[in-house]
Structures are given as structure tokens and as C-alpha cells.
């Protein structure tokens, strides 16, 4: 498998490189699909969707497959996993993904990168869970779309760990040395380009549905659905090492503004340890409400 060990000259070069690589899936996903394949007659779209949605890489593979095999008669985008599988059919799904590479195989000689991938995927799952809960509170028009968008927001970070593990490890090393260094700044220092440009380029290259592209575009910040996804992803990232990150208070203030509730209610709702709640509640009480969502 090719590895990118030195920076490229432009965002377009990164997009061309990463989009040319095949996407692996988690070993757990491959094993779950193999087990379901053997029991195919009793497997339905809902059960399959649960497996797919546990793995952002498999989610991305399915959505990309649907777009590249789009029927001429299809006049609308498929933006959720259960609808994708229902349109595709269970048997054709298993046929299309009969042989998939795994992340664990791809990173067999890069154990630190594998750990990095697993940590980012855990963060993505957490973001999807938070975003889904908030979308329900907001009575969103389609909660599943918000869930998928939040799950995929970290997809580029996952791909960087797989195909550029040394560069990506350097990004995280710089952040460990300077906890005030934002991830976007660290990525720009190491990769030499704006990571957001890579993300936007890749989600277009992967041919994701336009609605999901819009939900993953920070420039659409006037849209409360986009803010739902972004703030949930930020909160998942900032809490990945505990609840003492100074950025968390702003995350909860922004979420409270979006959901028209109080930060204290959301802090209680998020499921953090009781001993960590009081300091955060105190921080949100003394900070002014956010002027905007980000």
C-alpha cells in the first residue's frame, strides 16, 4: 500500500492522491458482514445499516458506491444508510462488498497509526451520537442525515492516518507539545495546506450526495443543521481526553444557543461523570453567550 511521507504542493494534489486510494474498513466490520452473509435470508436492511453506521469508512464506501452506480431513473440523492441498502437490496449489497480490505491489514506495520485511526473513529462515533441526540431535540427534518454527516466529518483525518501516517503523527505530536495549538493550524503547518480545502475536495471527489456535502461545509454556518454537526464534532474532539479542555465551555454555550436551552441542561444530558459537571457549569455561567455558532 502506498504511503505519503512528505508534504505535497497543493490541496488539489492531496485530493488527487487520497481519492485514488481504495478505502479499507475495520476488521470488525468485515467480520460482521461475513457472518451476516452466511445468514443472508434472515438479514434485513436495518441490521445491515447498524453495522455500516458503526464504521465511518464503510459508511463512506457505501455512499460512494451508490453515487457511482446511480441509476438514470433516480431523481433524488440517497443520504442515509438504511435507504441506501433498501434501494440496493441485501443480496446486491453483499455482492458489491464481498471482498474488502481492512484497516488492520493496511496498518499492520504501523501500530501507532492504527491506534490513531481507532481513536478518531471512536471520536466520530461519539460525535454522531451527540449530533443525533441534538437533532432529535431540534425536531430535525431527517435525524439520520445529521447522524451520517457527523460520522463522516472525521473521514479525512482517518484517511490521513492510513495513507500519510508519519505526517499525521507529526500533527498530533505538535498538539501534544502545545495544547493551545488548534488542529487546523497544526495540519496546515505539517501538510502545508488548509486541511479544510482537502476535506471539501475529497468529499466532492468521493461523490457524496450534495446534501451531505453541504452539511460538511463549515461555510454553510447559517444553517442550523450544519451547526448541529460542527458543534457536536467539536465537543467530541475536545472531550476525547477528558472534560478539562478549556474549549468545552464554549462548545456547550454554542450548543445551548442552537437548541434554545441552558448549558447546564446539556452538560447533565451528555453523560459525563458527576464530578466533572460542576466546573463546566461554573465556566459556562461566567462566559457571555456566543455571538455565533463557531
- Cα separation, 226 vs 231, in Å, equals 9
Distance CA 62, CA 97 (A): 9
| pTM of the predicted protein model | 0.92
Signed CA dihedral, 57, 155, 293, 80: sign only: negative
Q: What's the pLDDT at 291?
A: 61
pLDDT for position 131: 98
289 phi and psi angles, rounded to 5 deg: -60, 145
Q: Is 183 helix (H, G, I), strand (E, B) or coil?
A: helix
Q: Could you report the average pLDDT of every consecutive run of 10 residues in the chain (294 residues)?
A: 88 95 96 87 86 96 87 71 91 91 95 96 97 97 96 94 96 88 89 90 92 90 95 95 91 96 96 93 84 54
Classify burial at 47, counting beta carbons within 10 Å of its beta carbon; exposed 0-12, middle 13-18, buried 19 or more: middle
Q: Looking up cell 464504521, which residue turns up? A: 55
E runs forming strands in the chain: none
Question: Domain map of the chain by residue range?
Answer: 22-103, 242-294
Residue labelled with grid coordinates 433524488: 76
**Cα(10)–Cα(15) distance, integer angstroms:** 9
Asked if 224 and 209 count as a contact pair (C-beta separation under 8 A), the reply is no
Q: Give exposure, 199-211, as e/b (b: 16+ Cβ within 10 Å).
A: bbbbbeebbbbeb
Angle at 4 between CA 190 and CA 212, to 5 degrees: 80
* Closest by CA position to 243, among listed 270, 268, 269, 280: 280
Q: What is the pLDDT of residue 289?
A: 67
CB 93 within 8 A of CB 32: no
Query: Of 282, 219, 218, 214, whose CA–CA distance to 253 is shortest?
Result: 282
3-state DSSP: the chain helix, strand, coil percent, rounded to 5?
A: 70, 0, 30
Contact 206, 158 (CB under 8 A): no
* 202 neighbors 150 (Cβ within 8 angstroms): no
d(CA 39, CA 5): 42
Amino acid at each position: 500500500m502506498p504511503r505519503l511521507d512528505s508534504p505535497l504542493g497543493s490541496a488539489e494534489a492531496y485530493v488527487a492522491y487520497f481519492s485514488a486510494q481504495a478505502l479499507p474498513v475495520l476488521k470488525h466490520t468485515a467480520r460482521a458482514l461475513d457472518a451476516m452473509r452466511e445468514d443472508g435470508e434472515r438479514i434485513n436492511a436495518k441490521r445491515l445499516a447498524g453495522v455500516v453506521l458503526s464504521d465511518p469508512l464503510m459508511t463512506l464506501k457505501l455512499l460512494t458506491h451508490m453515487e457511482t452506480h446511480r441509476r438514470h431513473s433516480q431523481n433524488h440523492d440517497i443520504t442515509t444508510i438504511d435507504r441506501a441498502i433498501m434501494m440496493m437490496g441485501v443480496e446486491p449489497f453483499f455482492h458489491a462488498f464481498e471482498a474488502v480490505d481492512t484497516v488492520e491489514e493496511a496498518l499492520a506495520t504501523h501500530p501507532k497509526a492504527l491506534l490513531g485511526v481507532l481513536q478518531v473513529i471512536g471520536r466520530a462515533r461519539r460525535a454522531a451520537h451527540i449530533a443525533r441526540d441534538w437533532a432529535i431535540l431540534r425536531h430535525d427534518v431527517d435525524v439520520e442525515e445529521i447522524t451520517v454527516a457527523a460520522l463522516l466529518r472525521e473521514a479525512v483525518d482517518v484517511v490521513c492516518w492510513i495513507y500519510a501516517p508519519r505526517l499525521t503523527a507529526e500533527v498530533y505530536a505538535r498538539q501534544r507539545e502545545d495544547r493551545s495549538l488548534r488542529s487546523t493550524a497544526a495540519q496546515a503547518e505539517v501538510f502545508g495546506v488548509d486541511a479544510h480545502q482537502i476535506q471539501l475536495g475529497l468529499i466532492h471527489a468521493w461523490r457524496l450526495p450534495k446534501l451531505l456535502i453541504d452539511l460538511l461545509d463549515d461555510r454553510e454556518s447559517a444553517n442550523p443543521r450544519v451547526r448541529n454537526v460542527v458543534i457536536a464534532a467539536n465537543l467530541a474532539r475536545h472531550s476525547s481526553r477528558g472534560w478539562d479542555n478549556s474549549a468545552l465551555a464554549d462548545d456547550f454555550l454554542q450548543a445551548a444557543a442552537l437548541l434554545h436551552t441552558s448549558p447546564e441542561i446539556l452538560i447533565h444530558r451528555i453523560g459525563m461523570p458527576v464530578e466533572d459537571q460542576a466546573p463546566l457549569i461554573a465556566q459556562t455561567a461566567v462566559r457571555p453567550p456566543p455571538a455565533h455558532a463557531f
